[in-house]
Amino acid sequence: MSRIRTLIDEATIASKVKELGKRITEAHRGHELVLVPVLKGSFVFAADLARAIDLPLSIEFFACRSYGDGTESSGVVQITYDLTKPIEGKHVIVVEDIVDTGLTMTYLMENLATRKPGSLELCALLHKPARTKVPVTIDHLGFTIEDVFVIGYGLDYGEKYRNLPYLGVLEPE
Ligand code: 5GP
């Protein structure tokens, strides 16, 4: 069994998400947005973020699988669920739970850029700069964190813990 140490509590997450929503709203005044949550990890963050943005928007999900040795992605990414509509000329904001090595997001942003969106930005809740392999521009960032494995608020360990309302770290008893 493991103990869960709270890394970022519910209230702190809620106020950061509101702040991100406000910043995106101000930066895109007059635009209609397409939010692209990357499944599965960002489903909770995206649900809260969407409600913090005061602009007309639509949601298009995207899912990919990143091959690796279990703990680290290799940069070889397979799209397992693609957008259902073209994004040409649209103002797109990709919503990601965490940027770790940056390999997944680099692939994904390059892939979406080929579809010629009007603008393309990345909003990530968490960033672990200590693990960067490929630098990724994060236009809207929630929190920078240390090199720990995070669970909760959508993030899993073996598909569990996604429903924890806060961000935590698993620690051995
Ligand atoms: P990257 O390609 O940036 O190394 O991988 C990013 C993906 O790895 C994230 O979208 C997430 O699915 C997974 N990941 C990276 N760090 C963590 C973490 O601390 N906790 C969890 N649950 N997943 C992580």
Q: What is the pLDDT of residues 117-161, one digit of tens each?
A: 999 999 999 999 998 999 999 999 999 999 999 999 999 999 999
Atom of ligand 1 nearest to the CA of 104: 2
Which of these is catalytic: 82, 97, 100, 156? Answer: 100
148/113 Cα distance (integer angstroms) = 31
Determine the pLDDT at residue 74: 72
Cβ contact 148:98 at 8 Å? no
Determine the pLDDT at residue 155: 97
Place of tokens 């598909």: 159
CA of 30 from ligand 1 middle (Å) equals 33
Taking 70 as the threshold, does the pLDDT of residue 69 lie above it?
Answer: no
Residues with CB under 6 A from ligand 1: 41, 66, 73, 96-105, 149-151, 155-156
Would residue 9 show up in a list of annotated catalytic residues for this protein?
no
Atom of ligand 1 nearest to the CA of 38: 10
65/80 Cα distance (integer angstroms) = 7
What CATH code is carried by the domain that includes residue 125? 3.40.50.2020
Determine the pLDDT at residue 26: 98
Domain that residue 44 falls in: 2-172
Cβ contact 7:30 at 8 Å? no
Side chain identity at 103, as an amino acid letter?
L
156/149 Cα distance (integer angstroms) = 10
Q: How many folded domains does the chain comprise? A: 1
Cβ contact 37:46 at 8 Å? yes
